[in-house]
Amino acid sequence: MTAPSHPAVVFASGQLLTEDVWAPQAVALSPDYELLVADHTHDDTIAGMAARLLADAPARFHLVAHAMGGFTAFEVMRQAPERVLSLALIATLAPNDGPAQTERRQGYIRLVEAGRFDGVVEERIPILVAPSRRDDGPLLAVIRRMAADTGPERFLAQQRAIMGRADSRPSLGAIHIPTLLIRGDQDGITSQAHQDEILAAIPQARLVTLAGCGHLPTLEMPQETNRILRDWLAGASA
């Protein structure tokens, strides 16, 4: 692969999300970076998603990952840590699923198998966005469109991948690159305890918390997220 003319940034997206989740960042960062979005449409394991990301990415790159994309990022750091220049983890966590999370995902699977994929999307919306945004028509329209573009079969593969993922906590201490955590303080999926766990284990990690934001900072607070990522990548690329 020809080396990019600008530093490369690879985005890794969460479940039910497409490259549209990065649309504001693509506009903000494209003048200064070569941007790629990892392909999560072919694999039903996190290890497979990570291997595909590495196969498609340039030799060295910054990795910006959201939610399920963070699970992929942790696997990338196990498979080829020498290729990643810096790591930004948005609204993600390191443990694998416990019984409650597994049961919730199996409930989603049952809904999809019963032909109620739209019901899964609607059930997830309250945990995806801050309470103040649950009536935000344009934002919810983007979320629903991304889910529709993902579709039920791909969603089921994502559920299989997530339920089968490794517990990344034992490998966090081996991450020796600058690492940024971004989390909304009204995230309905990740907690402050999840962030503290990562902060304690990765030597060069730091956290930025967005007040009044849910699980989707890139869309809920795009200008703030753009500024944070722009400053982070400029420092990591220096």
Name the residue ranges covered by the structural domains of the chain: 1-238
Can you give the pTM of this predicted structure?
0.95
Spell out the per-residue pLDDT of the chain, length 238, in tens. Answer: 445 578 999 999 999 999 999 999 999 999 999 999 999 999 999 999 999 999 999 999 999 999 999 999 999 999 999 999 999 999 999 999 988 888 989 999 999 999 999 999 999 999 999 999 999 999 999 999 999 999 999 999 999 999 999 999 999 999 999 999 999 999 999 999 999 999 999 999 999 999 999 999 999 999 999 999 999 999 987 6
Identify the pLDDT of residue 100: 87
Kindly report, residue by residue over 26-36, the tens digit of the pLDDT: 999 999 999 99
Identify the pLDDT of residue 1: 43
For every residue of the chain, DSSP letters joined together read -PPPSS-EEEEE--TT--GGGGHHHHHHHTTTSEEEE---SS-SSHHHHHHHHHHHS-SSEEEEEETHHHHHHHHHHHH-GGGEEEEEEES--SS---HHHHHHHHHHHHHHHTT-HHHHHHHHHHHHS-GGGTT-HHHHHHHHHHHHHHHHHHHHHHHHHHHT----GGGGGG--S-EEEEEETT-SS--HHHHHHHHHHSTTEEEEEETT--S-HHHHSHHHHHHHHHHHHHHHH-
Rounded Cα–Cα distance for residues 148 and 37 (Å): 18
Q: CB atoms < 10 A from the CB of 167, how many? A: 11
Spatial contact of 119 and 112, defined as CB atoms under 8 Å apart:
no
Kindly report, residue by residue over 88-127, the tens digit of the pLDDT: 999 999 999 988 888 989 999 999 999 999 999 999 999 9
The percentage of residues in the chain with a pLDDT greater than 90, rounded to a whole number, is 92
Question: Which listed CATH number (3.40.50.1820, 3.30.230.10, 3.30.465.10, 3.40.50.720) goes with 1-238?
Answer: 3.40.50.1820
Radius of gyration of the chain (CA): 17
